[in-house]
Amino acid sequence: MSRRPVNPSRRYGDAGGGAALFSLSKSRSPPLLSIVLTVLGVLLIVAFFHSGSGSGLKNLVSRVEGDFSCTLEVLRAIPILKKTYGGGIHKVLHVGPDSCSVVANLLKEEETEAWGVEPYDIEDADANCKRLVRNGIVRVADIKFPLPYRPKSFPLVIVSDALDYLSPRYLNKTLPDFARVSADGVVVFTGFPGQRKAKAADVSKYGRAAKLRSSTWWSTYFVQTSLEENEEAAKKFSGAAEKSSYTPNCQIFHLRSYR
Ligand SMILES: *[C@@H]1O[C@H](CO)[C@@H](O)[C@H](O)[C@H]1NC(C)=O
């Protein structure tokens, strides 16, 4: 619909349909046309920035839809995580939907090795993602089962969104497994309650709607499952966040690995 008015042949070219269109346009078209042109202009600007910056458009689109993805939040938080974990960020396992984008971005950082676990099917993966999967950097694996890695394989495990789709029964298995494969800690990114409504698309892709739990729920849960929150890391993180004026759009928890 937005394309029609800028097609000159339709607007001015042919005599029959064109005349009808023209008489209609006399009374209504100018404001409509200017709106359409403005929209096109905005789209062009967005496309321009997208070609330069990668995750920019995605971020914008996701905000517009009101669907706050904590996977995108991981990308925003990378500089803060670096300040918090120093060397730990140099070898990371990311677990969560859209793991390819996190891994691809981490690999752009200097001296950083990154692996990913994508818990859901990735039929719509782009060529870049398919290459990461083919090379074994990103694995597609059901996180209800133990991850195919040895204990303490990665200093840091970062998980985003994925836990919101697990019932406590599976959380009980999955979260300790993340602690098992990590050496220095697990960082959990999860939505704030009420942030995102359950969507039909979610259910078909993730098996169930996201359940966004409160920070009290999580804290109690960590205690119950003998996972220890790393207060030192949390403090460092919020200090660095404050210095960079970074306000997270997701809840972020720092857990210790098993000793
Ligand atoms: C999960 O683990 C905790 C702590 O071991 C236990 O209290 C709880 O009943 C478990 N929940 C489920 C659903 O298995």
Q: Which atom of ligand 1 is nearest to the CA of 224?
A: 4
Torsion of CA 200, 203, 206, 212, to 10 degrees: 90
Tokens of 120: 């859901």
How many angstroms does the Cα of residue 169 sit away from the middle of ligand 1? 7
Q: Which pLDDT value is given to residue 258?
A: 86
Number of CB atoms found within 10 A of residue 152's CB: 14
Over residues 68-92, the pLDDT tens digits come to: 689 989 999 999 999 999 877 889 9
How many angstroms does the Cα of residue 168 sit away from the middle of ligand 1? 7
> Does pLDDT of 59 surpass 80?
no
Q: Which pLDDT value is given to residue 165?
A: 87
Q: Which pLDDT value is given to residue 145?
A: 93
Over residues 127-137, the pLDDT tens digits come to: 999 999 999 99
pLDDT-derived band of residue 110, with 50, 70 and 90 as boundaries?
A: confident
- Quick one: which H or E segment has residue 237? helix 231-243
Mutation probe of ligand 1 site: the residue of 224, 226, 227 with most atoms within 8 A of C-beta: 224
Of 63-67, 174-178, 230-234, give the lowest mean pLDDT range: 63-67
Q: Which pLDDT value is given to residue 17?
A: 40
> Does pLDDT of 63 surpass 50?
no
Which residue segments constitute the domains of the chain, with CATH numbers given? 8-65 (no CATH), 70-255 (3.40.50.150)
